[in-house]
Amino acid sequence: MTTTISDIQVKVRMMDNPKLLAQATVVIFGIVEIHGWRVMPSTKVHPKFQEQLWIQPPVYKAGAGWKPIIWITDIELYTEIESLIYDTYLQAKVKTPPTTKDEVSIDDIPF
What is the tens place of the pLDDT at every residue in 30-75?
999 999 999 999 999 999 999 999 999 999 999 999 899 999 899 9
Residue 29 Cα distances to 1, 3, 18, 33, 58, angstroms: 12, 9, 32, 9, 19
pLDDT above 90 for 14: yes
| pLDDT score, position 3 | 83
| pLDDT score, position 9 | 96
**Distance between CA atoms of 109 and 16, rounded to whole angstroms?**
27
| CB-CB contact of 58 with 76 (8 Å) | no
Among 86, 92, 27, CA closest to 54: 86
| pLDDT score, position 96 | 74
DSSP label at residue 6: G
Fold (topology level) of 5-93 = Arylsulfatase, C-terminal domain (3.30.1120)
